[in-house]
Chain A
Amino acid sequence: MGINNKMKKKHFQRRHLVELFMKTIMRIALVIVAGALGLILWTIITRGLPALSWDMVSQVPKGGYYMGKEGGILNAIIGSAYLATGGTLLAIIISLPIALYLKAYLGNSKWGGYVRLSLDVLWGIPSVVYGAFGFALMIFFGLRASLLAGIIILALIELPIMTRAMDEVIRRMPVDLEHAALALGSTKFEVALHVVTRQMLPGIVTAILLAFGRGIGDAASVLFTAGYTDRIPTSLMRPTASLPLAVFFQLGSPYPEVQQRGYAAALILTIIVLAVSLGSRWLSARLNKYTVK
């Protein structure tokens, strides 16, 4: 008994040791993650920054660009912007109804579980498989490598992550909130518009951002479906370049100047992802101000 009991003291010491051990493991994990990010940034900045110029972001490749002559990767920047934006928009159109259907009709039923399992499996499939699948589909439909095909395949890649993230957001919607608005005499539509949307929007923005990040960074799927070209696409049926492939092709070059440009392209891609992340975080925080936690 008492506070300074010897038997208990040993037990307390052991518990503190366990805590110290776990805390150390967590700190090591944190250092690994932060260190990896730091190293990647260090690499692309030190190697890419010298090659980064106004020409890089404002011009398309000119003759001899891939041997170190003039030009830029505007084609890939615009291509990636089109691909990722288009893919994300298409994915939203498909994901939101799936997520709402899961909530409203399937809930935690057996079928709801199957749908969630399928989405989780889809999430884990490597993008090169998506690319090959998309390529097979394109041959079947007689489609050639194009912006449209790239958008479709990116939407398929983004779909599982976006749907599952939205699903989690929607599942956390407190039913009390809907009831509170109904009790004031709102119609169900008013509840959905004024209350449910306000409450869920920040989470949905995050879900969209996650999916966008995966879409814009993906190389293998667009290699098969969108192709690569030095021109900026003028229609959905034209092939298009993309930043991940611009990185890939240039890094594979034997010319050191071109390799450097590959790192510069990676830097541009990273800056775009960072900007979109910061932008949506800002938006999410603004929308989050009034949500009920």
Chain B
Amino acid sequence: MKTHIQVKNLNVYYGKQQALKNINIEIPRNQITVIMGPSGCGKTTLLKTFNRFFELSENTQLTGEVLVDGQNIYDKEVDVTEVRKVVGLLAQRPSPLPMSIYDNVAYGMHIHKMKNDRAEYKAAVRHYLEIAGLWEEVHKRLHDPATSLSIGQQQRLCLARGLAVEPEIILGDEPTSALDPISSQNIESRLLDLKKQYTTVIVTHTLRQAKRLADHVIYMYLGEVIEAGPAHEVFTNPQHERTKQYLEGLF
């Protein structure tokens, strides 16, 4: 297992409340890692430390290190926009930008000046819409507002938009919780398709989804990592009583 993200002695505070307690984990490259645990256990907070999104809340404090390919993303000389280019996020609810379908995908590439001319942008937009499985549905109305799409389509658009800036890591913060079953399944199969090229970290509160997706599992409880390891081991033979109880659906 090659490590892509390494978390060392991570502590996070919201005001005086400690949200994450001394986290030490490794996230393998090109696999799907699922973070699970009961609500309020800090799984979303942990996810948000990977793209420095938890900083957007006020009054936060962080000690320890989050290393992506060996580079601590909290180092002073690291540019936060660069971190977020490498570490993409698929949010809980799709939030398309107030632009056309085309511009939603092109936006990230434009701000990072990733292509040279219109033709290249056009080709790239098509490419990522195809990867997200949306091209067939939207290629005739690329200049319609993104909000005219259904919620499930919007989430796939957000996936295409995120992939277009060529990240190495995809974070998913309960990315299917707002979607209907068919759209959820669609997103899940995209994520499975993509895991060969991207390191994926998903937060979920549904155990069945975790079992469908996970290669690697992190189980959290009250701000601490209780257990982490390969999915088949954790699911079939959990080492901790708490994990066992959670898997049995006791809470």
On A, residues with C-beta under 8 Å from B are 174, 176-177, 179-187, 190, 194-195, 198-199, 289-293
Across the interface, do A181 and B56 meet the contact criterion of CB distance under 8 Å? no
Assembly CA distance A233 to B246 (angstroms) = 80
Across the interface, do B56 and A179 meet the contact criterion of CB distance under 8 Å? yes
The residues of B that contact A180 with a CB separation of less than 8 Å are 91, 95-97, 158
A290 nearest CB across to chain B (Å): 5
Across the interface, do A185 and B165 meet the contact criterion of CB distance under 8 Å? yes
B162 nearest CB across to chain A (Å): 7
26 contacts between A and B (CB under 8 A): A174-B95, A176-B91, A176-B93, A176-B95, A177-B95, A180-B96, A180-B97, A180-B158, A181-B97, A182-B53, A183-B88, A183-B91, A184-B85, A184-B88, A184-B161, A184-B162, A185-B81, A185-B112, A185-B165, A186-B81, A186-B108, A195-B98, A198-B97, A290-B147, A291-B145, A292-B147
The residues of B that contact A186 with a CB separation of less than 8 Å are 81, 108, 111
B99 within 8 A of A: yes
Across the interface, do A289 and B145 meet the contact criterion of CB distance under 8 Å? yes
- From 90 to 113 in chain B, residues with beta carbon under 8 angstroms from any chain A beta carbon are 91, 93, 95-100, 107-108, 111-112
Across the interface, do A292 and B84 meet the contact criterion of CB distance under 8 Å? no
Across the interface, do A185 and B98 meet the contact criterion of CB distance under 8 Å? no
The residues of A that contact B93 with a CB separation of less than 8 Å are 176
Closest A residue, CB atoms, query B147: A292
Q: Which 9 A-B pairs have the closest CB atoms?
A: A185-B85, A176-B95, A184-B108, A185-B84, A183-B89, A185-B81, A180-B95, A199-B98, A198-B98
The residues of B that contact A184 with a CB separation of less than 8 Å are 84-85, 88, 107-108, 111, 161-162, 165
Cβ contact of B56, chosen from A174, A177, A182, A185, cutoff 8 A = A182
Across the interface, do B100 and A183 meet the contact criterion of CB distance under 8 Å? no
Across the interface, do B108 and A292 meet the contact criterion of CB distance under 8 Å? no
Assembly CA distance A58 to B158 (angstroms) = 56
B51 within 8 A of A: yes
Across the interface, do A177 and B97 meet the contact criterion of CB distance under 8 Å? yes
The residues of A that contact B91 with a CB separation of less than 8 Å are 176, 179-180, 183
On B, residues with C-beta under 8 Å from A are 51, 53, 56, 81-85, 88-89, 91, 93, 95-100, 107-108, 111-112, 145-147, 158, 161-162, 165
Assembly CA distance A183 to B165 (angstroms) = 10
Across the interface, do B111 and A292 meet the contact criterion of CB distance under 8 Å? no
Assembly CA distance A180 to B158 (angstroms) = 9
Across the interface, do B97 and A183 meet the contact criterion of CB distance under 8 Å? no
A170 nearest CB across to chain B (Å): 14
The residues of A that contact B84 with a CB separation of less than 8 Å are 182-185
Across the interface, do B98 and A292 meet the contact criterion of CB distance under 8 Å? yes
Closest B residue, CB atoms, query A195: B97
B113 nearest CB across to chain A (Å): 12
Across the interface, do B100 and A290 meet the contact criterion of CB distance under 8 Å? yes
Assembly CA distance A195 to B99 (angstroms) = 9
B138 nearest CB across to chain A (Å): 15
Assembly CA distance A190 to B112 (angstroms) = 11
Across the interface, do A183 and B53 meet the contact criterion of CB distance under 8 Å? yes
Assembly CA distance A198 to B147 (angstroms) = 14
Assembly CA distance A293 to B154 (angstroms) = 14
Q: Most chain-B Cβ atoms within 10 A of its Cβ — which of A185, A186, A187, A289?
A: A185
Check A185/B95 contact, CB under 8 A, given A290-B146, A292-B147.
no
A280 nearest CB across to chain B (Å): 19
Closest B residue, CB atoms, query A199: B98
Assembly CA distance A195 to B97 (angstroms) = 7
The residues of B that contact A291 with a CB separation of less than 8 Å are 98, 145, 147
The residues of B that contact A177 with a CB separation of less than 8 Å are 95, 97-98
Cβ contact of A292, chosen from B51, B53, B96, B100, cutoff 8 A = B96
A194 nearest CB across to chain B (Å): 7
Q: Most chain-A Cβ atoms within 10 A of its Cβ — which of B85, B98, B100, B161?
A: B98
